[in-house]
Structure 1
Amino acid sequence: MISQLTAYSLETITESAIYLLKRLIATPSFSREEAKTAQLIEQFFQEHGIPYKRTKNNIWTHNRYFDPAKPTILLNSHHDTVKPNPSWKLDPFKPLEREGKLYGLGSNDAGGCLVSLIAAFCHFYKKQDMAYNLILAATAEEEISGREGLELILPEMPPISFAIVGEPTQMHLAIAEKGLLVLDCVAHGKSGHAARNEGENAIYKALKDIEWITNYQFPKVSPTLGPIKMSVTVINAGSQHNVVPDACSFTIDVRATEQYTLEEIVETIQRHIQSEVKPRSIRLKPSSIPEDHPIVKAGIWLGRETYGSPTTSDQALLDCPSLKCGPGHSERSHTADEFIYLREIEQGVELYIRMLEQVL
């Protein structure tokens, strides 16, 4: 056994995590509406005698023997959820245990991850002589990539050496994650009467640009994340059948890798298409952590696999090496009758602790 926990103490800390998760499920916490779940997390830390800070709906705290001279590890996950889709048959806000599963909105994404990280943090909270400090951050607005979540409190924190971001990965190790770039584009033409062959049809111009977007491949391919992926996901033009449209707008969803900066991707697209291109933001960067990093090696030693993740999380806001890892399964996220297995939370708490023991 690597861990010095007894079976009883591990069981106790896991039970505490599951109880907190049930309370979070029972409390609606849509993005930008997380005040009540933030209050529940505050109450949890108060009950456990752990001082904390709150900035808007973000709760964060550090280990008791925090030493500014030591490097710091960030443990982060979010307590906001998407809205339940119409296909739910169960009550999304009623935590229900059935056949080893805990049902409820946010149970899998990312409540199970959050409470497992909180439990692991509590295990190390009073430990002395650690090589690192620990900061636990339960944050808001992750589901909408909002600016009043993790991004808001990072300037209040000391420099972060590396981070573990809790998202459902079956406790495997996402050592790289694609960034997200959303581009709003407009093809400009000239209006005219359709019957008289007048004007310049902006739709046709947009189609030529969309064809380039469909076929272009960025030369550099990530060994972990593969190629950059561009998809046109929205298009709008025209007002009536007999008027040649003078503008056609479309949106490009770009999933970026570490091989190019977001600015380089935008510049490449602007150079090759005629349409006007405006990025909504360049905040959500690709992220990664070296495969030989001690926390990754610790996970591999414990039988976890490494992979590159195509989805975006709060990792995109971090400027330090970061690992995405947590209990639950990504395919259950945002689905009707969302659930997490109780055994996944038990495994999550124990594996987080065992991985951190090897670096702390």
Structure 2
Amino acid sequence: MATEALGHGGDENESGIRQANGNGDASVPGNGKHPALPVLEDMIRIQSVNPYFDESGEGERAMADYVERRCRAAGLAVTRQNVFPGRDNLIVELRVGKPDKTLLLEAHMDTVTLGGMPDALMPTYRDGRLYGRGACDTKGSLAGMLYAMERAARNPEAVGGDLVLCASVDEEHAYKGLLAFLELGLPVAGAVVGEPTELGIAVANKGCVRVAATTHGKAAHSSMPAEGDSAIMQMMRVLRFIRERLEPELASRAHPLCGSPTIVVGTIRGGTQINIVPDRCVIEIDRRIIPGERPEIVERELAERLRRELAPEGVKLTVERLLLDWALDTPHDAAIVRAAQAAAAAIGLDDNLRGVTYGCDASKLQELKGIPSIVYGPGSIAQAHTNDEWVPVSDVERAAEFYWRLAQTFGRL
């Protein structure tokens, strides 16, 4: 098991990287390692857990400090944009006199909790993989983007337009960092958002509607249940309706790149103690939307349908909004898409277009500012947020070269 190997055995080299025991691992880079890998190693060592999820989370301050130091050393212009106390976006710019062809590279600095991941802050190479919290989601992308920006700073004549890197805060919770960045109104002609896409050019992703649905009953002593009205029993009818009616309906339609919309009940809370008929029960619903669906319409229709169709069964229900997020659907002939395909093909990578099932900052760029955007990065979403999070070493190297080639290509097609 990978998690067992992370927690036991292995030796640290002089740079503090844990390497697997044995006869040597060809995936562990030596002095000739790709420049993006030491950057990723440094980032894994930095705890940047979003404090919304964990009171011990340190947020993005140390990550922002690290990115700022590197970029200033490279001669790049750096601005800190405060979003929350002690949590700043890092905005890095390389201006070459082509503001109408500005390419935005965006990746978030926060991670989910360390959870049960052994040695989560110790970068560990094994079997062609680099393990550590954030390695996949999404410090591997950010390391590659930093490589591209630093290389562009040394070779400004090679890029096709102005470059802006936004290392943002709070993506894992409510994407407040990106929203703050958009308020600056910087001109952007196209954007690439770093997330794990297995080195695929993603032009579509699902959006999300999250609501809390509450059933309202009447409390009574448990020895006289007929005097009350159990909110939990009401909620059973809601859950049955979601499973038997809504899930099959959603599964019957699909987007060609993103698949079918889905609905999941993620949490349930009800009752106060065992001898009281519960007067309240709450579930939190995660409804993933596909391109073509509008989140505000989906939210309204979901709430209206639950109330209308379950009222005859005695269900008294209220619905509260938690989060709305848009789907991404970038035109396939957009300049950023054509440049991405050209960049990928030029270095021997897959140039086919795809979709992803998760949400990310790209849809906000498109929806709120009309910025054509793609999603691209090393690793698979299947490894994100897990207790053995890892990213293929070769993916990190190739993604870094893709970002650099994209910086050269965008603005020239």
Q: Which bin holds the TM-score, normalised by the shorter protein?
A: 0.7 to 0.9
Match of 1:330 in 2: 381
1:254 is the counterpart of 2:267: no
- The structural deviation recorded for 1:322 is 1.8
Match of 2:302 in 1: 269
What's the CA shift string for 1:65-97, capped at 9, x where partnerless? 2444x1432111122222222242xx2222234
Match of 2:214 among 163, 181, 186: 186
Aligned residues: 344
Q: Moved runs in structure 1, 4+ residues, more than 6 A?
A: none
1:53 is the counterpart of 2:79: yes
- The structural deviation recorded for 1:253 is 0.9
Over 3 Å counting, the alpha-carbon distance change for 1:146 and 1:299 in structure 2 is closer
Match of 2:392 among 338, 341, 344: 341
What secondary structure does 1:184 align onto?
A: strand
1:103 is the counterpart of 2:150: no
Q: Distance in 2 between matches of 1:323 and 1:309?
A: 11
Match of 2:16 in 1: none
Match of 1:8 in 2: none
Which has the higher mean CA deviation after the structures are superposed, 121-130 or 165-174? 121-130
Match of 1:25 in 2: 44
Q: Distance in 1 between matches of 2:90 and 2:32?
A: 20
Match of 1:307 among 354, 358, 368: 354
Q: Distance in 2 between matches of 1:14 and 1:153?
A: 33
Q: Distance in 1 between matches of 2:258 and 2:128?
A: 34
Aligned partner letter, 1:288 = D
- The structural deviation recorded for 1:239 is 2.8
Contact in 2 for aligned 1:203/1:245 (Cα 8 Å): yes
Match of 1:80 among 106, 110, 128: 110
Contact in 2 for aligned 1:13/1:119 (Cα 8 Å): no
Q: Distance in 2 between matches of 1:154 and 1:262?
A: 20
What secondary structure does 2:68 align onto?
A: helix
Q: Note the residue ranges of structure 2 that are not aligned, 5 or more in a row.
A: 1-30, 52-58, 83-87, 308-316
What's the CA shift string for 1:241-292, capped at 9, x where partnerless? 443322221111111122221110111012112210111132x221121223
State the percentage of identical aligned residues: 28
Contact in 2 for aligned 1:295/1:356 (Cα 8 Å): no
- The structural deviation recorded for 1:130 is 5.9
- The structural deviation recorded for 1:208 is 2.4
- The structural deviation recorded for 1:196 is 5.3
Match of 1:38 in 2: 64
- Could you state the TM-score of these two structures normalised by the residue count of structure 1? 0.86
1:357 is the counterpart of 2:408: yes
- The structural deviation recorded for 1:128 is 4.4
1:224 is the counterpart of 2:266: no
Q: Distance in 1 between matches of 2:209 and 2:188?
A: 25
Contact in 2 for aligned 1:14/1:346 (Cα 8 Å): no
Contact in 2 for aligned 1:176/1:287 (Cα 8 Å): yes
1:103-142 map, 5 Å = 103-125=131-153, 126-128=155-157, 132-142=161-171
